[in-house]
Amino acid sequence: MLIFGHRGASGYAPENTLAAFELALEQGCTALELDVQLTRDEQLVVIHDFWVDRTTNGTGLVREMELEQIRQLDAGAWYDAKFAGEKIPTLEEVLNLVPEHILLNLELKIIPRMRGNIEQLVIDLLMSKNRQHQVIISSFDHSAIQIVQEYLPEIKTGLLLYGQLLDLPKYINANELDLFSIHPAYPYLTEHTVAVLNRLKKPIYTYTVNRSEDLGWCYQYGVDGVITDYPDQAQKLLEVY
Ligand code: G3P
Ligand code: CA
Would residue 124 count as lying in a domain? Answer: yes
Would residue 56 count as lying in a domain? Answer: no
Atom of ligand 1 nearest to the CA of 6: 4
Q: Which CATH number goes with the domain that contains 150? A: 3.20.20.190
Would residue 166 count as lying in a domain? Answer: yes
CA angle 218, 12, 222 (to 5 degrees): 10
Which of 197, 22, 4, 20 has the alpha carbon at shortest distance from 105? Answer: 4
Would residue 62 count as lying in a domain? Answer: no
Would residue 211 count as lying in a domain? Answer: yes
Atom of ligand 1 nearest to the CA of 33: 1
Q: Which residue's C-alpha comes closest to atom 2 of ligand 1? A: 207
Q: What is the mean pLDDT of residues 192-210?
A: 95
Ligand nearest to the CA of 183: 1
Is the pLDDT reported for residue 165 higher than 90?
Answer: no
Going from the Cα of 227 to the center of ligand 1, the distance in angstroms, rounded, reads 8
Q: In the prediction, which pLDDT does 163 show? A: 87
Q: What is the mean pLDDT of residues 118-136?
A: 98
Domain that holds residue 112: 2-37+94-240
| Domains in the chain, number | 1
Least trusted range by pLDDT, from 28-37, 221-230, 231-240: 231-240
Q: How far apart are CA 160 and CA 205, in angstroms?
A: 9
Share above pLDDT 90 across residues of the chain, in percent, rounded to a whole number = 96
Task: Share the mean pLDDT of the chain.
Answer: 97
What residues are in contact with ligand 1 under a 6 Å CB criterion? 6, 33, 35, 48, 107, 138, 160, 183, 207-208, 227
Q: Which residue's C-alpha comes closest to atom 3 of ligand 1? A: 207
Write out pLDDT tens, residues 58-101: 999 999 999 999 999 999 999 999 999 999 999 999 999 999 99
Would residue 220 count as lying in a domain? Answer: yes
Q: How far apart are CA 63 and CA 42, in angstroms?
A: 8
- Asked if the ipTM is above 0.90, the reply is yes
pTM: predicted TM-score of the whole model, two decimal places: 0.98
Would residue 167 count as lying in a domain? Answer: yes
Q: How far apart are CA 166 and CA 24, in angstroms?
A: 35
Would residue 52 count as lying in a domain? Answer: no
Task: Give the pLDDT band (50/70/90) at residue 141.
Answer: very high
